[in-house]
Structure 1
Amino acid sequence: MEEAIRINEKDKRVKRVEGYRWIVWIVLAAVYVFVTFHRMAAGVVKTDLEEAFNIGAAQFATLGSMYFYAYFIMQIPSGILADKFGPKKTVASFSLLAAVGSIIFGLASNIMIAYLGRFMVGIGVSVVFICLIKIQSRWFYAKNFALMVGFAGVAANVGAVLAQTPLVIATGTFGWRNTFIYMGVAMVVFAVLVVLLVKDDPTDMGLPGMDELEGRPAVTSAIKVGEALRSVMSNKRTWIISLTYIGLYTGYVVLLGTFGVSYLITTYGMSTIQAANMIMVAVIGSAVSSLLVGYISDKIKKRKSIVVSLSLVTLLCWIVFVYVKMPVSMLMPFLFIMGFVMSCFTMCWTVANEVNDRRYSGIATGVVNCIGFAGAAVVPVLMGKILDAYQSMPALGYQKAYFVLIVLVAVSTAASFFTHETKATNVYAERK
């Protein structure tokens, strides 16, 4: 009788974990929507920003890249913060900084203040994704890791969707300045929700943690930072998956957040809202991919074959997109497919976690993101300089600018062939 009561009590506690985890996840995923909104928004308001600050393509690209420079320098520190201090404190405090940055950006009277606001936003939101991955590793079963990364990808794409046609409508209604001010105020609200609702681990509520439920050694936040960094950064598998990630992710940012809309306007003579609608189709493809690819990968317990095959198709799509002017009727299905395959970069986060000590999931994700965001910061600026040099021949300028990106995607595709197959398990112990 006592045994039955004990089992029943344990079942209730497990169900409490399985229920409350979604509250924790939804709050952080909602904050992540702001992250990708700010990441992608610059491309849609490109004309407004160029007129407001009297700048060309190169300065516009620099303005957009301020976010990525900030994000780049914060990725490893973000991993350390997530692993050592926990997602709750980290996300709540940094979200307030991002909120202030968004408001400063909306109020900016000159380009230097706009740079500052954009940089502050990048610093503030830089911690969110890594903290979300950390939360998923502490609240969800390991067997569902890739699927949960896929759900995170859906949240990201909600932000990317909001930064397309809805942003065009919002800026038309409120003006671009007020839109960014309102987004800053909204981030303050969600920072408060993080404080009130997020818990770093089920054990913080007196509930059994995933370590106990899955019968594995307990993981604590009492890590040695130097030891953790050495472990992750001396692992060659970390660098291979990071190299795979850089081209795929940079391409995603360029298409959805920097030059995708303006390229369609120049090449196909579309209006801003028509071009934004087209790019939104690629975002939808990316959202579908985030869920489906993660689910299939978990189901068949394969990582490498998926990354390799989708990387190859991504490279082909970029070549066609830049060098083949297709009928407008074909653009929508093509961009859906392109968005779908290029989002295989989400698998890189999963692989990074599975080839490293799981105690250092934040740092492992941070290192991969650091490499990817370096590409996302530098490549658009190079492309902007090329576009400025070919202002009298914009179509040729876009071909030459995109060639830089295609080379990087090709390098990443080649690296994908050397990715380690984890079979959906943590293989850190087998690294030698």
Structure 2
Amino acid sequence: MKKDLVGTKEEQIKKVESYRWVVWSVLAVMYIFVTFHRMGVGVVKNDLQQAFNIGAAQFANIGSMYFYAYFIMQIPSGILADKLGPKKTVFSFSLLAAVASIVFGLAPSIGVAYASRFFVGIGVSVVFICLIKIQSRWFYSKNFALMIGFAGIAANLGAVIAQSPLVIAVNMFGWRNTFVYMGVGMVFFAILVLLLVKDDPSDMGLPGMDELENRPQSVANIKVGQALKSVMTNKWTWIISIPYIGLYTGYVVLFGTFGVSFIMATYGVSKISAANYVIAAVIGSAVSGLVIGYLSDKFKNRKLPLILCSVLTLIGWVVFIFVKLPLALLTPFLFVFGFVMSVFTMCWTLGNEVNDRNLSGIATGVVNCVGFLGAAIVPVVMGSILDTYKAMPMLGYQKAFTVLIALVAVGAVASFFTKETNGVNIYKAK
């Protein structure tokens, strides 16, 4: 379709600014499924242990299978997003995740459960990077951090569904049927991706962001070897990945692995009450993405919020694990804790702004790769410690969480050495 068939330039811009929300919303819904699968096993911990007759370490491995797959796929996902495009990538891989979710719900043995969770991770691994790619092609650069915040809302909605709503669903349908139904739902939304998503406004005969912002045209024929070398030899890519690994691993452990069980053990509350407390942290996380993203875009500052929130997250973990708070304070504490912890979204923004804008998928993939390695390994180490101290569970939790706290501390120190971009892409080709 030629641009002159679409209307005047003003009409074209209006269409871009309206249809972009259709494209974004469909992928954002798929991202809700991603975070549901990421966090859902924590709430059904006891159900899985009973179903497969396993301990804490084997349970943690069920969750980690997802993250092993996610880790493996982050750089390939970036390549697929940059070369094949978000539409085809998300559609095909979401179908794989849907089938794997159904198989997980029907799994007759722990081996099948491991394998199906691994393929769920493979299938959903592409969605976030494709969402970031879509944001870079459909939205103005000045709103990049804010749009990361909106993506965070989708992520946290999935995390909310994976808390007390999942407990209710499991009570009604059983954990197996619940994961089967989620797989069927993914098939429906994968079809919507195929029908509604466009990789770039130019696919509809509309002006793209490169034209509207007078920035260099996006390069379609990306050479994978050169792209990987560009991102992976950039020291700022790796420096920003260190705060990310601590912050994000903690986010996963709190929301998806041991948060609910730790609150149950520490405060003697029911599973649904513990899940509701975690939802306070999820809400804080959702608010964080918007507030921090908006303020960062407004004041053109990325480094200060990262440093401040990284240090506060470290303090928050020490308080959460070693201080038994009055129940009346637990909800507001967890809200603030979730808020500061979710500054890891700033790492995605910085990862894009220190690298070639044409390689947004690969840059996000490399940063994610580091974080998901931590999210895969650390919970298994923690689970092994919990199994060792099974007779003294509270001591076991304290020793297990000390491993995480040490990782968060390293990330907090590294945040002081990240590169300030002042809200613009600072990459310069060598």
TM-score of the alignment, normalized to the shorter chain, above 0.5: yes
- 1:427 aligned partner: 426
Name the Cα RMSD after superposition: 1.3
AA in 2 matched with 1:383: M
Structure 2 Cα separation of the partners of residues 82 and 48 of structure 1: 36
- Residues 330-369 of structure 1 correspond to what in structure 2 (within 5 A)? 330-369=329-368
For residues 373-408 of structure 1, the C-alpha deviation after alignment (integer angstroms, 9 at most, x for no partner) is: 000000000000000000000000000000000000
Task: Report the residue type matching 2:169 in the other structure.
Answer: A
Q: What corresponds to 2:273 in structure 1?
A: 274
2:105 is paired with a residue whose SS is: helix
TM score, norm. by length of structure 2: 0.98
Partner of 2:328: 329
| Secondary structure of the corresponding residue to residue 206 of structure 2 | coil
Aligned partner of 2:12 in structure 1 is: 13
Distance, in Å, in 2 between the alignment partners of 1:42 and 1:231 is 37
Q: Distance in 1 between matches of 2:216 and 2:341?
A: 36
Amino acid at match of 1:14: I
Structure 2 counterpart of 1:218? 217
For residues 307 and 54 of structure 2, the distance between their equivalents in structure 1, rounded to whole angstroms, comes to 40
CA distance in 2, matches of 1:358, 1:95: 26
Q: Partners of 1:279 and 1:244 in 2: how far apart?
A: 23
Match of 2:376 in 1: 377
- Contact kept in structure 2, 1:382 and 1:401, CA below 8 Å: yes
Between the aligned partners of 1:300 and 1:217, the Cα distance in structure 2 is 25
Distance in 2, Cα, partners of 1:58 & 1:242 = 27
Structure 1 residue 292 displacement after superposition: 0.7
User: Is contact 1:79-1:364 (8 Å) kept?
Assistant: yes
Structure 2 equivalent of residue 317 of structure 1: 316
Residue 194 of structure 2 aligns with an amino acid whose one-letter code is: V
Letter in 2 for 1:395: M
- Tell me, in whole angstroms, the C-alpha distance in 2 between the residues paired with 1:302 and 1:92: 36
Deviation at 1:327, TM superposition (A): 0.8
Task: Tell me, yes or no, if the aligned pair for 1:285 and 1:337 is still in contact at 8 Å.
Answer: yes
Map Cα deviations across residues 17-71 of structure 1 (whole Å, 9 max, x no partner). Answer: 0000000000000000000000000000000000000000000001110000000
State how 1:37-56 maps to structure 2 within 5 Å: 37-56=36-55
Instruction: Return the offset for 1:360.
Output: 0.5
- 1:240-255 equivalence runs, <5 A: 240-255=239-254
Task: Provide the C-alpha distance between the structure 1 equivalents of 2:137 and 2:80, rounded to a whole number of angstroms.
Answer: 15
The equivalences for 1:94-243 within 5 A come to 94-243=93-242
Specify the alignment match of 2:404 in structure 1.
405
2:49 corresponds to which letter in structure 1? Answer: E
The separation in 1 between residues aligned to 2:321 and 2:175, in whole angstroms, is 30
Checking the alignment, whether the CA contact within 8 Å between 1:85 and 1:221 is kept in structure 2 is: no
Q: CA deviation at 1:216?
A: 1.1
Q: Distance in 2 between matches of 1:213 and 1:264?
A: 50
Query: Shift of residue 220 of structure 1?
Result: 2.8
One-letter amino acid of the counterpart of residue 23, structure 2: V
Residues in 2 aligned to 1:395 and 1:107: alpha-carbon distance in whole angstroms: 34
**Residue identity matched to 2:407:** L
Superposed CA offset, 1:123-158 (max 9, x none): 000000000000000000000000000000000000
Structure 2: how far apart are the matches of 1:103 and 1:274?
28
C-alpha separation in 1, matches of 2:414 and 2:89 = 33
- Hey, what's the Cα distance between the residues in 2 that align with 1:272 and 1:362? 38
Aligned residue for 1:428, secondary structure, equals: coil
Per-residue deviation at 1:326? 1.0
Unaligned runs of 5+ in 2: none
User: Residue in 2 aligned with 1:264?
Assistant: 263
Structure 1 residue 244 displacement after superposition: 1.2
Match for 1:332: what amino acid? Answer: T
Deviation at 1:221, TM superposition (A): 2.3
Partner in structure 1 of residue 389 of structure 2: 390
Secondary structure of 1:422's aligned partner: coil
Q: Which runs of 5+ in 1 are unaligned?
A: none
1:68 aligned counterpart, secondary structure: helix
Cα deviation digits, residues 211-247 of structure 1 (max 9, x gap): 0000111103210000000000000000000111000
Do the aligned partners of 1:86 and 1:221 also contact (CA within 8 Å) in 2? no
Kept in 2, the 8 Å contact 1:310–1:341? The answer is yes
1:15 shift after superposition: 0.3
Q: Deviations over 1:310-340 (max 9, x none)?
A: 0000000000001111111110000000000
Cα distance in 1 for partners of 2:199, 2:256 equals 31
| AA partner of residue 352 (structure 2) | N
Provide the rounded CA distance (Å) in 1 between the counterparts of 2:220 and 2:79: 10
Count of aligned pairs: 427
- 1:248 alignment partner AA: L
Whole-angstrom distance in 2 between the partners of 1:97 and 1:282: 31
1:414 equivalent in structure 2: 413
The 1-side partners of 2:221 and 2:416 are apart by 36
Q: Which amino acid aligns with 1:277?
A: N
Task: Give the letter aligned to residue 87 of structure 2.
Answer: K
Measure the CA separation in 2 of the matches of 1:217 and 1:325. Answer: 54
Q: Deviations over 1:268-314 (max 9, x none)?
A: 11100000000011000000001111000000000000100000000
User: In 2, are the aligned partners of 1:202 and 1:209 still within 8 Å (CA)?
Assistant: yes
SS of residue in 2 equivalent to 1:421:
coil
C-alpha separation in 1, matches of 2:325 and 2:215: 54
- Distance in 2 separating the partners of 1:38 and 1:419: 31
Alignment match, 2:29: 30
Q: Which residue identity is paired with 2:201?
A: P
SS in 1 for 2:151: helix
Counterparts of 2:264 and 2:19, CA distance in 1: 46
Q: Any idea what SS the aligned residue of 2:8 has?
A: helix
Please list every run of at least 4 consecutive aligned residues from structure 1 whose deviation after the TM superposition is greater than 3 angstroms: none
